[in-house]
Amino acid sequence: MRTRAMVSVAVSACVALVACGCGPEKAKDNGDAKPSQAAASASATAPSGAPSASAGTEQPSPAATGSGPAPKTKERAIQRYEQYLRGLGREDVGTVCEVAGPGAKKAEEKGFGPCTSTYVIVFQMISPDQKKALQTATVDPQRVSVRTLDRIEMPLEAVRSSATFSEEDLGSYTLEYIADDYYITDGN
C-alpha cells in the first residue's frame, strides 16, 4: 500500500532535481524551450508505462518563458498546483519536476535520487482511476490557506476530482513564491 511518507519523499526528491536541473535558476540561464514548455497545441496522449517528458496542454510559467514574473497571487499558486496535479495524472515528469523543483532539491540533498527517477516510482503508486481524475482535478480556492502571498498551503481537502485521495495517496503541499513564480517546497 502507498504511504504518505513515500510520496512526500518522492515529491521532495523531485522538487530538488527541478531546482538543480530545470528549476527557476536554469530558466534564467537557458531561454530554450524545455520539455515541460511544449506548445499548448501539442496533443496530450494517454499515460503509458513510461513517463512522458511533454507538458501536453499546460502553459509554461511566465518566468520560464522570459515574459516576466508570474503574478504573486493566490490564483497563480492554485494554477501552478493544478499544473502539478495534471502532470501527475499524465505522468508528465517534466511538468511535475518543474513545479516541484525546490522541494525535490531538498530531498536530493538528503540522499534521495533525482526528481525524474523518483517520480517514476510515484507514478506507479497512483492507480489508473486516480491518474485519470488528476488530469482534470481542480482546487477549491476557499480551502486554500494563504499564510502570506509568499507561502500558500494547498491542503488535500482543497483538491476536487472524480477520485478520492487520502493523505497517503496525495497529501497536502506548500507552495512558495521563488524566483518569480510558485513552486512546491514541502509536502505535509
- pLDDT of residue 133 exceeding 70, the answer is yes
Q: What is the pLDDT of residues 78-118, one digit of tens each?
A: 999 999 999 999 999 999 999 998 888 887 788 888 888 88
- Please, which pLDDT band fits residue 66 given cuts at 50, 70 and 90? low
The residue written with cell numbers 512526500 in the block is 8
State the amino acid at position 150 in one-letter form. D
The string of DSSP codes covering 24-42 is HHHHHH--S--GGG--TTS
Q: Radius of gyration of the chain from Cα atoms?
A: 15
| Integer CA distances (angstroms), 108 to 4, 15, 31, 39, 157, in order | 18, 8, 25, 30, 28
Sequence ranges of the domains in the chain: 4-187
| 57 band by pLDDT with thresholds 50, 70 and 90 | very low
Q: State mean pLDDT over 32-49.
A: 32
Among candidate residues 147, 149, 167, the one with its CA nearest the CA of residue 74? 149
**Per-residue pLDDT at 108:** 79
CB 44 within 8 A of CB 90: yes
Higher-confidence residue of 11 and 36: namely 11
In this prediction, residue 13 has a pLDDT band, given cuts at 50, 70 and 90, of very low
pTM listed for this prediction: 0.67
pLDDT of residue 102: 86
Q: What is the DSSP letter of 60?
A: P
- Confidence at residue 111, expressed as pLDDT on a 0 to 100 scale: 82
Residues 6+ apart with CB under 8 A from 120: 51, 93
